[in-house]
């Protein structure tokens, strides 16, 4: 009898811990893993949301991977290449789901909270490392992507894609709209990107100081065309191939140096102009004015055109380096609808049209102002001061803390 009792006690001792481990437990926190970097504005928004969430619940923990560290970068490259994700931040993993980008607490934050609640109902949840080891067909790479259990045809419900409209702050579900309308709305929202807008404003400011309507048409027109073509190619070819963060480390400082240098030049012109007006006579001033006008009327050169295309390239890199997920959402919507190649190109074109809308508005305002103000000597002199300060300040921000330009 004692032997049976001892055997039973031994078996109970061995198997009880295993049984306990296999049971769900309310005390085990849900793990949220995130790839981030300290100069990413949307990463800052994510951690601000997490900080607020930690004040009201303690059932989760955050494990962050800094992509600027050697280990973090290696893991980031492995995850993005294995899951075919855009190399932008933040990338959030929770409850075996991938969330790219962070918009607001009301949109992306609500999705994260929902996934935390779902994870608490499970016996176990795979870590990101374990998730990457799964066969590709067993992964769900987006919380909004419909998945079928087998290879047979299945009904795909209309998913929810919640986005926030710029300026007014209203949230809408673009999943309720038709594909053409949804393509335009997502492109329009994506286009209102402050990172890209600052570069365009600097570019327009520099050209406005020349006082040449023709030069404005040529250079800004080429810039807008190049930007549209670049973005179109990103959506079709480069979305998952480029290391946007790595490229951002190169192009953002270069644009910052260019902007700061241009700002210093215009400020120099402002102060030199003061002295020139005091020293030079009317003939000297007329000669200088004629030289400036001749320079402004010169046609585009190959070098100038390549420089403009390079700036347009940098705008797209600057934006994608701190992704909010809208382009990724758009391309996934097209994939889910299983469109043919021609249809995808049509919707990409509609998206690009919406994306470029705000740039066309800025361009139009610049041309209108240039035409109506009739650059006078006094205005031109003042514009050098204002434009110089603006460009020097923006260039300095790009060099020191580019995240300040993201809001």
What is the DSSP secondary-structure string of 78-140?
A: HHHHHHT--S-S-EEEETTEEEE----TTTHHHHHHHHHHHHHTSS----HHHHHTS-GGG--
Closest by CA position to 350, among listed 163, 174, 156: 174
What average pLDDT does the segment 254-265 reach? Answer: 72
pLDDT at 365: 76
Q: Residue 86 in contact with residue 323, Cβ under 8 Å?
A: yes
- Residue 144 clears pLDDT 50, i.e. is over it: no
pLDDT at 22: 37
Q: Which CATH class is domain 2-138?
A: alpha beta
User: DSSP letter string over 276-336?
Assistant: HHHHS-HHHHHHHHHHHHHHHHSPP-HHHHHHHHHHHHHHHHHHHTT--SHHHHHHHHHHH
The CA distance from 135 to 132, in Å, is: 8
Closest by CA position to 333, among listed 316, 348, 322, 354: 348
Q: Two tokens at 304?
A: 């100038």
Residues 6+ apart with CB under 8 A from 206: 262, 266, 387, 391
Q: Residue 65 in contact with residue 75, Cβ under 8 Å?
A: yes
Write b or e for each residue in 253-270: b if 16 or more Cβ atoms lie within 10 A of its Cβ, otherwise e.
Answer: eebbebbbebbebbbebb
398 or 60: which carries more pLDDT confidence? 60
Burial zone of 345 (CB within 10 Å; 0-12 exposed, 13-18 middle, 19+ buried): middle
pTM: 0.59
Domain map (residue ranges) of the chain? 2-138, 181-405
What average pLDDT does the segment 359-385 reach? Answer: 63
pLDDT at 114: 93
pLDDT at 28: 86
Beta-strand relationship, 60-66 and 30-36: parallel
Sheet holding 97-100, edge to edge: 60-66, 30-36, 91-94, 97-100
Assign residue 169 a region (left: φ > 0; alpha: ψ between -120 and 50; beta: otherwise): left
If DSSP codes are grouped into helix, strand and coil, which group holds residue 271? helix
- Separation of CA 242 from chain center: 14
pLDDT digits (tens, 9 = 90+) for 197-242: 666 666 666 666 555 677 777 777 888 888 888 888 888 876 666 6
What average pLDDT does the segment 255-267 reach? Answer: 72
If DSSP codes are grouped into helix, strand and coil, which group holds residue 163? strand
- Separation of CA 353 from chain center: 18
Q: Residue 33 in contact with residue 94, Cβ under 8 Å?
A: yes
The CA distance from 318 to 327, in Å, is: 14
- Please, which pLDDT band fits residue 126 given cuts at 50, 70 and 90? very high
- Residue 30 clears pLDDT 80, i.e. is over it: yes
């Amino acid at each position: 009898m004692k032997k049976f009792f001892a055997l039973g006690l031994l078996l109970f001792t061995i198997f009880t811990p295993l049984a306990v481990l296999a049971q769900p437990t309310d005390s085990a926190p849900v793990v949220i893993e995130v790839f981030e970097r300290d100069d990413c504005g949307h990463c800052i928004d994510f951690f601000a949301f997490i900080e607020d969430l930690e004040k009201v619940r303690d059932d989760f923990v955050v494990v962050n991977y800094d992509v600027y560290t050697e280990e973090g970068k290696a893991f980031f490259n492995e995850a993005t290449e294995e899951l075919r994700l855009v190399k932008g931040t933040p990338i959030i993993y929770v409850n075996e789901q991938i969330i790219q980008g962070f918009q607001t607490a009301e949109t992306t934050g609500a999705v994260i909270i929902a996934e935390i609640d779902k994870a608490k109902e499970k016996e176990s949840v795979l870590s990101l490392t374990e998730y990457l080891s799964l066969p590709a067909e067993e992964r769900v790479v987006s919380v909004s992507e419909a998945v079928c259990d087998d290879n047979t045809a299945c009904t795909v419900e209309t998913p929810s894609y919640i986005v926030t409209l710029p300026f007014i702050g209203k949230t809408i579900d673009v999943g309720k709209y038709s594909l053409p309308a949804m393509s335009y709305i997502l492109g329009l929202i994506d286009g209102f990107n402050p990172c890209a807008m600052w570069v365009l404003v600097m570019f327009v400011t520099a050209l406005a100081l020349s006082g040449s309507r023709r030069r404005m048409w040529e250079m800004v027109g080429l810039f807008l065309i190049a930007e549209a073509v670049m973005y179109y190619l990103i959506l079709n070819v480069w979305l998952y191939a480029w290391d946007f963060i790595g490229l951002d480390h190169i192009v953002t400082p270069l644009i910052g140096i260019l902007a700061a240098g241009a700002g210093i030049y215009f400020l120099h012109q402002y102060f030199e102009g003061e002295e020139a007006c005091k020293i030079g006579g009317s003939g000297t001033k007329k000669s200088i004015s004629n030289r400036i006008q001749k320079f402004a009327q010169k046609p585009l050169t190959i070098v100038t055109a390549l420089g403009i295309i390079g700036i347009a390239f940098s705008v797209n890199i600057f934006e994608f380096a701190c992704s909010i997920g809208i382009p990724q959402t758009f391309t996934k919507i097209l994939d889910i609808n299983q469109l043919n190649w021609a249809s995808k190109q049509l919707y990409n074109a509609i998206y690009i049209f919406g994306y470029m809308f705000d740039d066309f508005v800025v361009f139009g305002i610049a041309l209108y102002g240039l035409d109506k103000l009739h650059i006078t000597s006094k205005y031109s002199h003042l514009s050098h001061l204002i434009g110089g300060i603006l460009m020097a300040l923006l260039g300095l921000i790009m060099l020191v803390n580019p995240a300040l330009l993201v809001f």
